[in-house]
Structure formats: C-alpha cells, structure tokens
C-alpha cells in the first residue's frame, strides 16, 4: 500500500484476472520505448493488449508545445485526456506496459500528481498477463468509451521539481540525494544519448540507480529487499528525501515507484530530466 492511500501500488496478474470484470476497474496501456529500439508502442498496443485496455499515449498526453519529449501537460489538458479515456474519479485504474524500462510508472505518477490516488501498476506488465493466459484483444476498438467525469484534484503523493529550482539547489550544493535512472554508461558520459544534441554526463552530485536494477528477469519488480539494495548500491538512502531523474522523465517515475514501495514518498521527479539538463548550459560531470 502507498503511505498516502489504501490503494495498492502494484497488483499481480492473478489479482487483475479476479477483478477485471468489475465496472470500477479501468485498464490503461502506457507502453513507451526508447527511440533507438525501433519499436512502435501504438502498433504493439493495436496488435495485442489486455482485453478492454485503453491507450495511455505518453507522447500525446503531454505538453505538445514543448520541445522536450512527453513533458507534463497542463491540468486541463490531462483532465480532458482522462475523460476521453472514460476515467471516473472513483475508478481503480490499472496501468501496465510492455516496456523494458517500466514506462507504466510514468502514467501511475501522472495520475497521482493530478490527484488520482486509486491507481496501481500491473507488476510484470503484459508479459505477466500473457503468462497466465489472460484475455487479450487486438485492432481498433469497435466502440468508443463513454466520456468520463475525471477531475483534477490535489496531488496524491506525487511531486515534481523544475530545472530552475534544481539548478539553484545543485549550485548551492543543497540538492541532497539525486538518483539518476539511466544506464551506467550514459550516467558516466561514456555512451551517447539516444536523443540528438545532448551533452553526455550527469548532474553534479547525482548517484546512479539504473531502472534495470529494480526489475527482475521476468520483467516484474524485484523484492522490496532487492529494491532497497539497488538504491543503497547506487549511494542512495531510500529512507531519505530523493530527487529522481533519467533521460526524459519516464524512468525517473519508476524510481519514484520503487521508493514508494519502500514507504518513501518524499520524492521529487525532475520532469525535464537529461533531455532538458543536457541541452542546457547547466553544470555537468562525467567519468566513473
């Protein structure tokens, strides 16, 4: 359970199989892939999705006027998109993905930031559903959802930080713990960024907790002890406040989910992440 809600942070495929027919259960596919992988998440959704699942398009449910990828949209825009997906304020929303970097956590975080605390991540995503032979469907939906009455409310445990605020904290050496979810090579500045025109490196004082270190070989989340160890191994005390960052604000939300599972919601997600920081003149470090 989340410290701020009675709704479980994650649910299993078995739980979903027992509850999928309930009218208050709404399922959203929030799959997203790195641009270098050559995969099309929308096409994959149309080819095979959990029966009844809507499409939470991380790239479209964003501020499309921003030059940055999938930047957080306005509250009004997000509300309209959730209404179009048929979401009600009392719905228990289950978000899932078929992504190697737990992109469903981005939808989980956004829903909570805009006040919807009744949201859970399907642990193991689509793979776990297929493993129990859960019902799937394909193609375009034959009927449109009834428009929901979702309304934006006060944040339900999720928090964010802007580049302006983070730059000031980093400049003063007062940022505290910064957990970067990118791969070790990208964190060290030894591997190129998947997006063009970005410097390589990391924020001064940041620690590396790759999102892969929270995920087991079946695509689900590791045990709580293993998740805690992953943060500790990266130099992050999971019991203290943390700022999370990544390449474009998606896997930073995966770290926020991991910390919430450990009982820590004193977490600020840096939405712009390296797509913004790496393109700016903000200070960077590189090397091991």
Residue 147 inside a domain? The answer is no
Residue 20 inside a domain? The answer is yes
* Residue-range definition of the domain harbouring residue 41: 10-137
131 shares a domain with 189:
no
174 shares a domain with 265:
yes
Q: DSSP class of residue 237?
A: -
184 shares a domain with 79:
no
227 shares a domain with 187:
yes
pLDDT, residue 194, reads 87
170 shares a domain with 128:
no
99 shares a domain with 41:
yes
Residue 114 inside a domain? The answer is yes
> What are residue 254's phi and psi, to 5 degrees?
-65, -40
Query: What are 57's two structure tokens?
Result: 């398009």
Report the range of poorest mean pLDDT among 1-10, 58-67, 77-86, 218-227.
1-10
User: Distance between the two ends of the chain, CA-based, in angstroms?
Assistant: 37
Residue 218 inside a domain? The answer is yes
| Number of separate domains in the chain | 2
Decide which of 105, 137, 169 is a domain's last residue. 137
177 shares a domain with 82:
no
Q: What are the angstrom distances between the C-alpha of 118 and each of 11, 94, 132, 190, 263?
A: 12, 9, 24, 40, 17
Q: What is the pTM of this model?
A: 0.96
pLDDT, residue 255, reads 98
Residue 195 pLDDT class (50, 70, 90 cuts): confident
23 shares a domain with 131:
yes
Mean pLDDT of 177-185: 97
200 shares a domain with 91:
no
Residue 6 pLDDT class (50, 70, 90 cuts): confident
pLDDT, residue 223, reads 98
H helix runs in 160-282, sequence order: 163-172, 184-188, 224-233, 251-261, 273-277
106 shares a domain with 177:
no
Would you name the residues annotated as active-site residues? 246
Q: What are the angstrom distances between the C-alpha of 182 and each of 39, 104, 210, 259?
A: 19, 17, 5, 16
Residue 144 pLDDT class (50, 70, 90 cuts): confident
Residue 143 inside a domain? The answer is no
pLDDT, residue 243, reads 98
How many C-beta atoms lie closer than 10 Å to residue 3's C-beta?
A: 12
- Please check whether residue 213 is in contact with residue 187, taking contact to mean a CB–CB distance below 8 angstroms: no
36 shares a domain with 125:
yes
133 shares a domain with 249:
no
CATH number for the domain harbouring residue 19? 3.40.250.10
CA–CA dist 83, 28 (Å, integer): 13
3-state helix, strand, coil in the chain (%, to 5): 30, 15, 55
Mean pLDDT of 188-217: 94
- pLDDT above 80: residue 142: no
Mean pLDDT of 248-274: 98
Quote the mean pLDDT of the chain.
95
Q: For the range 164-171, what are the long-range contacts, defined as Cβ-Cβ under 8 Å and sequence gap of 24 or more?
A: 166/203, 166/243, 166/270, 167/282, 170/203, 170/204, 170/205, 170/282, 170/283, 171/283
């Amino acid at each position: 359970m989340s410290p701020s809600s009675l709704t479980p942070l994650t649910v299993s495929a078995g739980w979903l199989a027992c509850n999928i027919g309930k009218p208050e259960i709404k399922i959203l596919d929030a799959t997203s892939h790195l641009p270098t992988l050559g995969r099309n998440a929308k096409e994959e959704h149309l080819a095979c999705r959990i029966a009844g699942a809507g499409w939470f398009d991380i790239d479209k449910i964003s501020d499309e006027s921003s030059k940055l990828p999938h930047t957080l949209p306005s509250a009004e825009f997000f509300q309209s998109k959730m209404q179009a997906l048929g979401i009600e304020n009392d719905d228990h929303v289950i978000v899932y993905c078929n992504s190697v970097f737990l992109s469903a956590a981005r939808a989980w975080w956004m829903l909570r930031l805009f006040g919807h605390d009744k949201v859970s991540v399907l642990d193991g995503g689509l793979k776990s559903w297929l493993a129990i032979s859960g019902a799937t469907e394909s193609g375009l939906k034959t009927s449109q959802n009834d428009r929901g009455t979702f309304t934006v409310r006060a944040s339900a445990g999720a928090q964010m930080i802007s580049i302006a605020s983070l730059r000031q904290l980093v400049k003063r050496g007062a940022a505290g713990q910064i957990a970067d979810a990118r791969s070790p090579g990208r964190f060290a500045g030894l591997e190129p960024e998947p997006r063009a025109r970005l410097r390589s490196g990391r924020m001064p004082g940041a620690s590396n907790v790759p999102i892969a270190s929270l995920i087991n070989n079946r695509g689900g989340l590791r045990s709580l002890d293993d998740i805690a160890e992953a943060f500790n191994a990266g130099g992050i005390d999971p019991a203290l406040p943390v700022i999370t960052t990544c390449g474009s604000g998606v896997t930073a939300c995966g770290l926020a989910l991991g910390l919430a599972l450990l009982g820590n919601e004193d977490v600020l997600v840096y939405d712009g992440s390296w797509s913004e920081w790496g393109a700016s003149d903000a200070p960077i470090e590189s090397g091991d």
